[in-house]
Structure 1
């Protein structure tokens, strides 16, 4: 789930983040958009995280990851958030507005978080996200995972560790002895799959009987 947004140049600021007068007609910027200002992306990521983490937490979500990269004349800010029960499209829209507002307020207050324009993408972690924190394991109860050379289903998880069902036998593992887990993709067998047409078949058979 991704919500795309953008903070543009502010009054009295040229696109690209340089403060000054607005571009005049015939300016070279008309024919060729400037590249994003070169900044320390690692430092920018840290600044963005510092600004938005309290806002995300106040909205009731966990900030899972932040990345900052260049995308033409803008910077691309990708933010991953999550919560118990998962993230809906409405949740993404709400947290996107909160994050964008926080970044704009920080820059208007004199803190240069990102130089120039940026594009914001907010979404939830995919199934390939490594399970590294207790909340990651808790939110994947019932899923098949691989960790420490074992493959099993998470039957329970608390603040101390997890219980895996490995070939029908429970295995208790503490977080201090767990590596990063990986959710395994499962496919239903064709003979177990529900295609939702059984009821229609029964109706068709009933219509044919006199």
Structure 2
């Protein structure tokens, strides 16, 4: 997709997405055989549920139908969210990933997997998991030191509340 078409689509669609209380994260046009697919990725601080995605999809479809932004050929519109292992590229992405485990590619070539505790304008406060029975450690990571970052999927992680509830139940039984 040309930069001009990408910019035109973003200029056309972003106000609609924003009016629905969502952020426009990504736009991509791919060719699939003779058809084209317009993929629009949206998100918000609270996440985007199926109703919000359906609403924004209808609004985008109507706007695209009344303009020639996609040209005369057929295309399919797909609207979705970034997914579980989303790339962290904007400040708001890091904020949304607070309390999540992330994998960082560092500018010096190193790699780090840690939990995001807090985010400010300069960087992140992280909890680096301990290895081989050692306790977790804290670390400050400036944004300038991050080359790439991506949220990691965690299976079987208990949230803090459920761990506290289990501990309280054990104390009540004793």
TM-score, normalised by the number of residues in structure 1: 0.63
* Root mean square deviation, CA, Å: 2.1
What residue is the counterpart of 1:45 in the other structure? 6
1:173 counterpart = 2:134: no
Contact 2:123 2:140 in 1 (8 A): yes
Structure 1, gaps ≥5 residues long: 1-40, 195-210
Counterpart-to-counterpart distance in 1, 2:121 and 2:60: 29
Contact 1:44 1:68 in 2 (8 A): no
Cα-to-partner distance string for 1:125-155 (whole Å, 9 max, x where unaligned)? 0123211111111111111111122211111
Counterpart-to-counterpart distance in 1, 2:32 and 2:91: 34
What's the offset of the Cα at 1:74?
A: 2.9
Contact 1:146 1:183 in 2 (8 A): yes
Contact 1:163 1:173 in 2 (8 A): yes
What residue is the counterpart of 2:167 in the other structure? none
Cα-to-partner distance string for 1:10-45 (whole Å, 9 max, x where unaligned)? xxxxxxxxxxxxxxxxxxxxxxxxxxxxxxx32433
TM-score, normalised by the number of residues in structure 2: 0.74
Which has the bigger relative contact order, CA under 8 A and spacing at least 6? 1
Runs ≥4 in structure 1, deviation > 6 angstroms? none
How does 1:69-108 map onto structure 2 within 5 Å?
69-107=30-68
